[in-house]
Structure 1
Amino acid sequence: MALALQIGETEPDFRRYGIYFTPSVGPLAEFGASWLGWDCLAARPRPHPKIPGLPKSIEEITATPRKYGFHATLKPPFRLAEHTNISALGLTLERLCGELGTVVLDGLSIKRLGSFLALVPVGSMEPVSGLAARLVRGLDSFRAPSTEAELARRRMANLSPAQEEMLQKWGYPYVMNEFRFHMTLSGRLPEREAETCRHVLTPHFARLIPGRVVIDAVTLVGEDNDGRFHAVHRYPLTGIPAGM
């Protein structure tokens, strides 16, 4: 069922919207929300688990990604264009998800991506990259143009020419060919601390990820005025799966 505002209802007071993959309710989603300390599906803080052997407190390790919740970004957060609204976005996303099929990942493992830790796919990323590209392209008309301040902030990351092209065209440098599916687990860490965290966390996540990971729905999320993200609505992918 699409998100549609009824007469007399006001739009959610979110400053940006994005499209996430969020795991279905279960042990992986529970542990991920607890690890980060913010449950974006229930929109509430969560107590951190007790995990010995980490190089610093979980609160410190997860301070940067906490506000986003446990997720993988498929379409990066964006401000709504002036000519549209959240109801129209929801209806368009529902139609798009009716064309997009389930994606299956061979698994997930913890890796260092630069200076932070994340869960990344085992095996080919082509199907999930294709899903993300369709969402970026199909919903771009709802994205307000980037401000000069937003562009300048992105460019502080020393973008490659390809990333600069993505920034100008899609408002974000790490989409399309630059997209890498990942579920962030930490902020920036020195290499030794990152490796210690990876070693400690690997058996915890290994017990929670049952081999193949099925992406059969996407989640529309909104960012509140404190910068925390909340699930707005979940949309099943009901189209023909890739490769069929």
Structure 2
Amino acid sequence: MTAARRYAVYLAPPADGALWRFGSAVLGYDAETGDAPVAPDIAGFDAEAWHAATAEPRRYGFHGTLKAPFRLADGASEDDLAQLMALSAAGHHAFEMPPLEVRAIGSFVALVPAVPSPKLEDVARSAVLELDGLRAPLSESEIARRKPERLSARQLGYLEAYGYPYVLDEFRFHMTLTGPLPEAERVQALNALTSAFAASGADVPATVTDMALYVEEPGAPQFRLVRRFPMRAAQ
């Protein structure tokens, strides 16, 4: 079987904003330009160690997941996906994201909203439900990678229905900054990233103005941000 492109629907902050610059620099990869910006100084890590610590999220580029990576169903085209994304994005007004803060989520470190955001949750719900008809079913290996034996019954149901266990009422928005880390390194990264985030100027609320389409070409090392679909003007 020929390898197929994978697509992901993500929230990507404006490329000219401090949040995008911060996240891209932390990961050492700008998914929109393909550049490799220099990471900020992360106390306790040299450049090589930090590059290793961010290897996993670097593959996907800086983002917040709306609809997790998927392949297109037989008979569906990228044009079909673009048309549905344009309609989905146009169904929402631009809005201000709550302030973000650096937190540990399990074994990795991420930016998460300091307070709930119903508008953000609504955008994610729409992306999951409105685009799922174009998604190919998961393969057995893709299901196995989600470790279904560790999922709750509800999460397993969502994995089977939507190709991802953390959707709808299980959705928790986050923007990943590191891969899995041992506890001591995780604590060090958490403290260092908290300081770097505050110093970056990216800790002010960002405005969400679009939904972003990321594409992973077969054999490519990373996803690329290929197109943004605008929301309506803020109310």
TM-score under structure 2 length normalisation: 0.90
2:40 is aligned with 1:46? no
Q: Which residue of 2 aligns with 1:180?
A: 172
| CA pair 53-149 structure 1, distance change in 2 beyond 3 A | closer
Q: Which residue of 2 aligns with 1:3?
A: none
Q: Which residue of 2 aligns with 1:9?
A: none
Q: Which residue of 2 aligns with 1:217?
A: 210
| CA pair 165-227 structure 1, distance change in 2 beyond 3 A | farther
Q: Which residue of 2 aligns with 1:75?
A: 67
Aligned-pair distance for 1:142?
A: 0.9
**CA RMSD in angstroms, aligned pairs only:** 2.0
Q: Which residue of 2 aligns with 1:64?
A: 56
Question: What count of residue pairs does the alignment treat as equivalent?
Answer: 229
2:19 is aligned with 1:28? yes
CA distance in 2, matches of 1:239, 1:173: 32
Structure 1 stretch displaced more, 135-144 or 190-199? 190-199
| CA pair 234-135 structure 1, distance change in 2 beyond 3 A | same
2:5 is aligned with 1:15? yes
CA distance in 1, matches of 2:19, 2:120: 19
Aligned-pair distance for 1:230?
A: 0.4
| 137, 141, 144: which one aligns with 1:149 | 141
Q: Which residue of 2 aligns with 1:6?
A: none
Paired residues of 2:40 and 2:196 also in contact (CA < 8 A)? no
| CA pair 104-57 structure 1, distance change in 2 beyond 3 A | same
> What per-residue deviation string (whole Å, max 9, x for no partner) do you get for residues 71-101 of structure 1?
1111111101111111121111111211112
Paired residues of 2:98 and 2:117 also in contact (CA < 8 A)? no
Q: Secondary structure at the match of 1:77?
A: strand
Q: Secondary structure at the match of 2:142?
A: helix
Q: Which residue of 2 aligns with 1:170?
A: 162
| CA pair 240-29 structure 1, distance change in 2 beyond 3 A | closer
CA distance in 1, matches of 2:128, 2:206: 22
Aligned-pair distance for 1:157?
A: 6.1
2:228 is aligned with 1:234? yes
Paired residues of 2:4 and 2:71 also in contact (CA < 8 A)? no
CA distance in 2, matches of 1:157, 1:186: 24
CA distance in 2, matches of 1:23, 1:177: 23
CA distance in 1, matches of 2:4, 2:226: 10
Q: Secondary structure at the match of 2:56?
A: coil
Large movers: runs of 4+ above 6 Å: none
Q: Secondary structure at the match of 2:59?
A: helix
Q: Structure 1 unaligned runs (5+)?
A: 1-12
| CA pair 211-47 structure 1, distance change in 2 beyond 3 A | closer
Q: Secondary structure at the match of 1:45?
A: coil
Q: Secondary structure at the match of 1:48?
A: coil
CA distance in 1, matches of 2:17, 2:97: 17
> What per-residue deviation string (whole Å, max 9, x for no partner) do you get for residues 168-201 of structure 1?
1101111111111000011111222211111111
Identity %: 37
Structure 1 stretch displaced more, 105-114 or 31-40? 31-40
2:83 is aligned with 1:88? no
Which amino acid is 1:27 matched to? A
Structure 1 stretch displaced more, 131-140 or 154-163? 154-163
